[in-house]
Amino acid sequence: MSQKLTAVIIEDEKNICRFIESILAGESYKTISASTGTEALSVIASQCPDIILLDLGLPDMDGMDIIRSVRSFTATPIIVISARTQENEKVAALDWGADDYITKPFGTSELMARIRTALRHSSHQGGGSDSVYSCGGLVIDFGKRLISLDGEEIHLTQIEYKLVSMLAKQAGKVLTYDYLMRQIWGPYSDNNNQILRVNMAHIRRKLERNPAEPEYIFTEIGVGYRMREE
């Protein structure tokens, strides 16, 4: 890599900040740290980083406000790193525009995998529809709208195909229940996501060898769904 990628770390706990800095330095990233929301917004606007790692609990403002502010001027990937484990916090962060959410404590390999996924999604945004998702025995040809499992064509309803293709195009990223409901059934869809769960159950019966132990589409309890990434 000829030029180092830049990561902004927004974290007020110095030991955690140093831990993340050491991980990223070992992967040849340039790191810039900020311990307050005000400092973070200034750094992000001036430095135009490749990725943002955000702790929600900052001394001067809530991390959700930072997500909203950053999303008003850039699509730079944001990964929330927080001790908050409530499902509604995760959903809110993702719905406001965060790309992923890691709960403390976390491991080095998990952090780097999530960063690579977020950067890959960022670089693919705006790409054509003629790409192919291929993972294990599952192949989705978006251009031809064809799905096959172990070489055998799988027939999905129109809504089922929309759900699977949305998840596959953002494989590795959690898509919240509300996001999927809005995208498939419109902005005024019922908040009750039972129809989404029913469709997902049908999809799993068609795509998974054992729906009770999915290989391709995973449930993030109380948050949404994530498609397996090879």
Asked if domains 6-124 and 132-227 share a fold, the reply is no
Please say whether the beta carbons of 27 and 112 come within 8 A.
yes
pLDDT at position 185, please?
78
pTM of full prediction above 0.75: no
Cα–Cα distance, 103 to 85 (Å, whole number): 7
Secondary structure (3-state) at 52: strand
pLDDT band at 4 (very low <50, low <70, confident <90, very high): confident
Tokens of 74: 């850039």
Fold assignment, 6-124: Rossmann fold (3.40.50)
pLDDT at position 26, please?
93
CATH class of the domain comprising 132-227: mainly alpha
For the chain, domain boundaries: 6-124, 132-227
Given a cut of 70, is residue 188 above it in pLDDT? no
Secondary structure (3-state) at 176: strand
Given a cut of 60, is residue 109 above it in pLDDT? yes
Residue 169: enclosing H or E segment and its boundaries? helix 158-169
Given a cut of 70, is residue 1 above it in pLDDT? no
Residue with tokens 């606007």: 45
The residue among 184, 179, 172 whose CA lies nearest residue 226 is 172
Please say whether the beta carbons of 79 and 102 come within 8 A.
yes
Q: What average pLDDT does this structure show over 179-195?
A: 77
Q: What average pLDDT does this structure show over 18-22?
A: 95
| Residues in Cβ contact with 213 at an 8 Å cutoff, skipping those fewer than 6 apart | none
pLDDT at position 59, please?
92
Long-range contacts of 110-116 (CB under 8 A, 24+ apart): 111/20, 111/23, 111/81, 112/23, 112/27, 114/79, 115/7, 115/51, 115/53, 115/79
Given a cut of 50, is residue 128 above it in pLDDT? no
Dihedral, CA atoms, 82, 170, 167, 157, nearest 10 degrees?
Answer: 160
pLDDT at position 7, please?
95
pLDDT band at 125 (very low <50, low <70, confident <90, very high): low
Share of the chain above pLDDT 70, in %: 93
pLDDT band at 122 (very low <50, low <70, confident <90, very high): confident
